[in-house]
């Protein structure tokens, strides 16, 4: 303080008390934005552990070069057909890890996982799909359903190696939701491949805007200090 003047973030005022309150209000706004954003980031980090159980189908170990058909595997249950075929480099490489799922095992089959969600919240559902190698498009159809509604259906012509593509869908939670994948091509024990299933909350725009405002305010305070 010099001659009754207090400096705060590069500002000057002959009214010390007013300047202090003004600086505190700005600082509180910035810190509130940062705190909210950091809380959100912490929640997002925890959520990124993946809400889907056994999304890459690695929890039942199949011998390299082999395959096996199951009624249930960790996280997933057969709801129609003969079962869930898990492969380990039997006819193409996995997208994530060493194992993948084919749902036209002995015949067209479907598997389900029940997912606990927050009602009304949006979630990003993501997974990898590849046509089975060296097979025509009509046998490689795969469908994905959310609460018994088909949200995606896709196929492709199989190449000499697996050709993975990432599929993304936004779904809305109801509290306890049904996620189903099912084979939908020719019923011939040869079908499309599935791997790397994941689901995470979609960031809320209002929260991200508040966090952005906090970052912008912090940057502005830093500029004023330099000035």
Nearest to 55 by CA among 181, 196, 166: 196
Q: What is the pLDDT of residues 56-101, one digit of tens each?
A: 999 989 999 999 999 999 999 999 999 999 999 999 999 999 999 9
Residue 155 · residue 195 · CB < 8 Å: no
pLDDT at residue 10 is higher than 90: no
Give the per-residue pLDDT at 6.
Answer: 39
Give the least confident one: 14-23, 105-114, 116-125. 14-23
- Quick one: pLDDT band at residue 7, thresholds 50, 70, 90? very low
Residue 163, C-beta contacts closer than 8 angstroms, at least 6 positions apart: 130, 131, 156
Give the per-residue pLDDT at 204.
Answer: 73
Residue 217 · residue 58 · CB < 8 Å: no
Residue 211, C-beta contacts closer than 8 angstroms, at least 6 positions apart: 33, 34, 36, 37, 38, 40, 41
Question: Which CA distances in Å does 76 have to 46, 57, 83?
Answer: 22, 9, 10
Residue 71 · residue 83 · CB < 8 Å: yes
Residue 69 · residue 84 · CB < 8 Å: yes
- Between residues 164 and 204, which one has the greater pLDDT? 164
The reported pTM is 0.73
Q: What is the pLDDT of residues 157-174, one digit of tens each?
A: 999 999 999 999 999 999
Give the per-residue pLDDT at 18.
Answer: 46
pLDDT at residue 20 is higher than 80: no
pLDDT at residue 43 is higher than 70: no
């Amino acid at each position: 303080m010099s001659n009754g003047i207090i400096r705060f973030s590069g500002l000057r005022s002959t009214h010390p008390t007013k300047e202090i309150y003004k600086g505190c209000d700005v600082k509180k706004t910035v810190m509130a934005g940062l705190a909210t954003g950091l809380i959100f980031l912490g929640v997002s980090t925890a959520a990124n552990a993946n809400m889907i159980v056994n999304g890459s189908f690695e929890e039942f170990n199949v011998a390299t070069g082999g395959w096996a058909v199951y009624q249930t595997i960790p996280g997933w249950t057969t709801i129609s057909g003969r079962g869930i075929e898990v492969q380990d480099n039997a006819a193409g490489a996995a997208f994530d890890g060493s194992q993948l799922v084919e749902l036209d095992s002995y015949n067209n089959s479907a598997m389900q996982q029940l997912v606990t969600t927050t009602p009304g919240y949006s979630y990003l559902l993501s997974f990898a799909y590849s046509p089975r190698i060296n097979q025509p498009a009509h046998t490689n159809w795969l469908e994905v359903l959310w609460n018994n509604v088909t949200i995606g259906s896709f196929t492709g012509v199989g190449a000499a190696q697996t050709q993975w593509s990432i599929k993304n869908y936004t779904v809305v939670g109801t509290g306890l939701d049904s996620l189903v994948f099912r084979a939908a091509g020719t019923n011939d024990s040869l079908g499309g491949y599935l791997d790397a299933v994941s689901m995470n909350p979609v960031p809320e725009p209002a929260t991200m805007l508040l966090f952005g405002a906090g970052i912008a305010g912090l940057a502005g305070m830093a500029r004023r200090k330099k000035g």
